[in-house]
Structures are given as structure tokens and as C-alpha cells.
Chain A
Amino acid sequence: MLQAYFESLKYVGHLLPISFLRIFLGYFYIQQAVKDWKIHVIGNSMVSDLLVEALNKTQMPFWYRFFLTEHLMSHWPFYAFVLVGIQVIIGFSYLIGYVVRPASILGLLLCLNYLAVASSSQEFFFKLMIACHVLLAWVGAGRCLGLDYYFYKRYRGIWW
């Protein structure tokens, strides 16, 4: 597996710059997960500022506002745990280059969700993140400097 990890440089070396972007994003998500774990999961269940701000947005579909107020806010510790879990999944996946394509889809969905609640000043950031996730999924960024190359060689398929 380790041999395949470095061998990928030889065969899909053109993806190397994108791999650096993938690894950076992985680090970013892990860092975010650690922060959110401390604040939202074990830190007395502080509701995310982003959600509080979102409820003040006038343009939001009724069903989404209902979901935020009736479910997410009232069961925030559970949802915070799930959100941190998703961040860890994306973070580790990107760092080691394992199951990058499905993880990118997960990241895309997470960012779409954030886009719905984000203020106008944060929208640009989440749009940029969506572009990154789409790019990583499109090129299969785990195949260079990642474990996906090893599994792709053995199993083929669109998930690597």
C-alpha cells in the first residue's frame, strides 16, 4: 500500500498540485472539527453562531426554518456530534486520500447546507469550498499521494 502511495506520483503525477489542495483542505477540516468538538460537543452545547445568525435571515424556505428551530436547535448536542463527525470524515479522507470522491460529495452537501444559513459575507467562502469539493471529486484527487490509487488499481470503479 505504501509502495502504491508513492508509485502514484509516477503515473498520475499531474494531479500532484491538486493533492496539495486536498491535503490542505483535510487539515482545515480536522482543525475545524477539533474546534467544534471543544465548543459544541463537550463545551456545554453552545449553539453555533452561524445558526443563530441564520434564523435572522429573511430569505429562507419555511421548511428549512422549521427544521432549524424545531429540530436542530432543540436537539443541538446530537446534530453537533453528527456535524463534527462529518468534518472528521472529510478531514481524514482528504488527508490520507482515502474514499475522496464520496467524501467530496459529503463535503459538497455540508457546504450547500452552510450556504443556506450563511450571511452574505460568508457566502463567497462556502461557494469557493463547493468549487473545491467538486474539483476533488471530478479528478479523483485521492489517486495521487493517496490510498485511493492502491484501491483503484485493485477494484476499479467510480468511487476511487
Chain B
Amino acid sequence: MKHFLAFVAVIFSCLTVFYFYRDDAQTSADYTSLKVYGSGSFIGSWGPGPKLKEIFEKQTGIKITYLEMSDPALVFQKISFEGNQAVGDVILSLDQYDIARSADKLTWKTIESKTSFNLPENLKELEKMEQFKAYDWAPIAFVARDDLKVTIEKLDDLLKPELKGRIALEDPRTSSPGLNFLAWIYKVKPEAEADSFIKQLMAQAHSFSPSWSGAYGLFKNKQADIVLSYATSPVYHLVEEKDSHFTAIEFKEGHPIQVEFAGVPDSCINCDAGVRFVQFLQTPEAQKIIMEKNYMFPMVKSVQEGTAFDGVKNFKLLPFKIDMKEQLQKWLGTWSELRKNEG
């Protein structure tokens, strides 16, 4: 035991010496670099992150370090715990539900847009947002192969007997498109009717996957005929797989949209560079990269001209607005209750 205690003492003594003689350059605030939180799909080698980093670093000389986040709510909580010591100048990959549910855990910088957009009327609300800047968007839609025999034109058509067990959906508690779909139902139907519709849909769906990729995998493996995805998903198949047999189905009710935002928390260290980076994301050059990697519509309409995105049908859209946190919780509560009874 004496040996062990001596061993512990030696290790801690060495660490203490290392701690006090560490390179101070590492600990002082670094104003030449930018710490950016983003989802794996954005900052991974297949996402737009690496290319954007390269261009931004070349233009400004500011070094970007990406930090991967799995759940924005946890990152907000983490930054709030860390206070002035927090690391993270920019947070990417936020959607409207992250903003509605968790963004109030932090205070955010106001960012002025330097790029003018030409957005559809129902998305004008995005231009008015001062703290979060949108960098891509897409309508939520069901995607099918073009040999689908069933005609689907409205939400109620999802209950057709031919589609029983053939619809891949996402769980709204864990997936943002899933939550968007739930909100969609409540926005276009009266509450009682919506509850009844959801109940029937639970018996109708193949499954409620925890994530978009899980649901899309079922569809790709032909375990489902249609999947809740984005209106831009067929473009991916067209460009990456040269396969034009996928189609997004338009619904008469109009489609909700999914938007991705970036924000700069007040606890930022290199705030000016953070704001510059967010503004950079909205420039045509960055928008093109984001569009091509994320397969979402750019905020700058002109960017998509002459690309495969030009071929995507203009769906009727529901007006964009950030839903109230309490409203979302109520919808999710009802969904969970119905799901519990279903199981």
C-alpha cells in the first residue's frame, strides 16, 4: 500500500509541475481562432464544413476549429455552466425547434445580414430574425419511388389501406423532421381531428425511427414505400447516384419548412470573427457549398440557378414561424400518450 500511495503522490506531483509550467499561450484567449460548434453532418468530411473552413481561413486569416455536437440543448447548457470560461464562438446546425425549446438558456449576439435574399413570401419571417441567421432550408415532404401505385395528395391519404406498414416516419421526441411533421398535423387540422389522425397513423406506419437517417435507411432498403424527408431529397439521388426514380410528393395542405440557423452566444471570445463567419455563411459562395453538400435550398435564390435544385417543384408552403415552447411540449405530450396507449 505504501508503494501505491507513493506512486499516487509522484503522479500528482508531476501533474502539478506540468500544470504550473504549461505553455501559457495555450490558456490565454486566442483572438486569431474561432471555435465553431456544429453537427457531425455539417463538420464531417462529407459535409460543407471543411470547404467553408478553408475558404474563410484564406479570406480572413482566422483559424477555425470545429467542435462536434450531438444535441444543441446540451451545448447550450454546457455553455451556460461554463459562463465566461465557455468555449464556442458560433453554434451551427440549429433548427427552429432548438431555438424554440432551448435557445433561451443563453443570450445571443445580434447579427446583421450583409446579403439580400429573394425568399418566398412565406419565409419572409426569416429575414426579420436578428439573433439567428438561416443558412439553408427545405420543405418537409414525403419521398417515394416513382413506381408507387398509390395516389397521395393530402395527409389523409397516408391512411389508405395500401400504405399500411409501408410508411417510414421519425419519432418527434428525438428527430427534428419528426417534430416538424407532428407540428404540421396540428397546424392544418383541428386539435381533436389531429389527435385521431395521429392515432390512426401510428397503426399505419412501418415504424417511428429515432432519426431521419434511420427512417431513410428503411426506405432505401425498400422496407417502406414512402418516407418523411425533404422535398430536396430526390436531388441527392439524382446528383450522387444518377437515379431519377425518386420523387417528393406535394400535399394540398401546404408544406412546413425545416430551416438551419447559426448563432453567436454572448459568451463568445472572438465575437467579431464569429459574426463574420455567420455572415460569410450567407454569401453566395458559401451558400453554393452548403446547398451542394447538405442538399437543402440556399437562402440566396440565384445560387441554385442552373443546378439540379432548379428542377425541384415549388411546393405550396405553410408560413414559417417559431412555435411556442409550451405548444410543442403539449403536442409532444399528446403524441407520447397516444404512442404509449398504442404500444
Residue ranges of A at the interface with B (Cβ–Cβ < 8 Å): 41-47, 49, 52-53, 55-56, 73, 81, 84-85, 88-89, 92-93, 98-99, 102-103, 151, 159
Contacts and interface: CB of A to CB of B under 8 A. Distances in A.
A52 B11 contact: no
Interface residues of B, number: 20
A103 B3 CA distance: 11
A44 B85 contact: yes
Contact of A159 (B4, B11, B15): B4
Contacts of B78: 46-47, 49, 52
B11 A85 contact: yes
Nearest to B23: A42
Given A42-B27, A103-B4, A92 B81 contact: no
B1 A52 contact: no
B83 to A, nearest CB: 10
Contacts of B77: 52, 55-56
B151 to A, nearest CB: 41
Given A49-B74, A99-B3, A102-B4, A41 B19 contact: yes
Given A52-B77, A52-B81, A55-B77, 7 more contacts: A46-B78, A81-B15, A84-B15, A88-B11, A88-B15, A89-B11, A103-B4
Contacts of A41: 19
Contacts of B26: 42-43
Given A42-B22, A49-B78, A99 B4 contact: yes
Contacts of A73: 81
Contacts of A103: 4
B203 interface: no
Most chain B CB within a 10 A radius of its CB, from A49, A73, A103: A49
